[in-house]
Amino acid sequence: MVVRHTLVATPIGDLALVVDDDVIVGLYFPDHSPMPSAKQLGPLVGPLSPLFLDASAQLDEYFRKERTTFDLPLQFQGGTQFHRDVWKKLQQIPYGETVTYGDIATSLGGISLARAVGKAVGSNPLSIFVPCHRVIASNGQLTGYAGGTDRKSFLLQLESARYFANEELF
């Protein structure tokens, strides 16, 4: 197990791209909340590995609107089984679409899980790759985001996403 990270320049700041051996385990904003520990990030290295280069290229294509999905080896580390179930649901939200926390909660057992879904969404370690920015409040408002609501708004505008979920996804 060799955890290391590099920085990837994007229109929303330098993102910390974290890999563990041959899988991506994190993508964090410069002022991510909560900020990952030094152990979670591993040492800073140059972006010379094929995985770093491929992930950086795919992020660049995404920000140029040339890519709508990512084809990268991702691995969830940490979190509970419920967190991982929520993160898997996030991966099912199509580019340019939004769902509510309640939509995800209902798909996992009931609207009463909406707060727990919010916590799981907020602890997603793979921002952008696992599109938690596509989850909005039931009233259509942008709510908390580990990179800040300005970045969430930027990403949704980049994707030309509707702020109101009109169809059931799950």
Residues 6+ apart with CB under 8 A from 128: 15, 27, 59, 62, 155
- Give residue 163's pLDDT: 58
Average pLDDT of the segment spanning 128-156: 92
What is d(CA 58, CA 55) in angstroms, rounded to the nearest whole number? 5
- 139, pLDDT greater than 90: no
User: Does the annotation mark 132 as catalytic?
Assistant: yes
**Mean pLDDT of the region 19-37:** 91
pLDDT in tens, 56-66: 999 999 999 99
Number of helical (H) and strand (E) elements in the chain, helices listed first: 6, 5
Q: Which residues pair with 45 in a beta bridge?
A: none
H or E element at residue 99 = strand 99-100
- Residue 83's pLDDT band, with cuts at 50, 70 and 90, is very high
Taking 90 as the threshold, does the pLDDT of residue 169 lie above it? no
Angle between helices 81-90 and 114-122 (to 10 degrees): 80
pLDDT at 162: 62
Choosing from 16, 18, 108, 132, the catalytic residue is 132
Q: For the beta carbon of residue 121, count every other beta carbon within 10 angstroms.
A: 24
Residue 93 identity (one-letter amino acid): I
pLDDT band at 25 (very low <50, low <70, confident <90, very high): very high
pTM score, whole prediction: 0.90
Question: Rounded mean pLDDT of 44-69?
Answer: 94
Q: Residue 117 and residue 86: Cα distance in Å, rounded?
A: 7
Distance separating the N- and C-terminal Cα atoms of the chain: 35
Cα distance between residue 7 and residue 12, in whole Å: 12
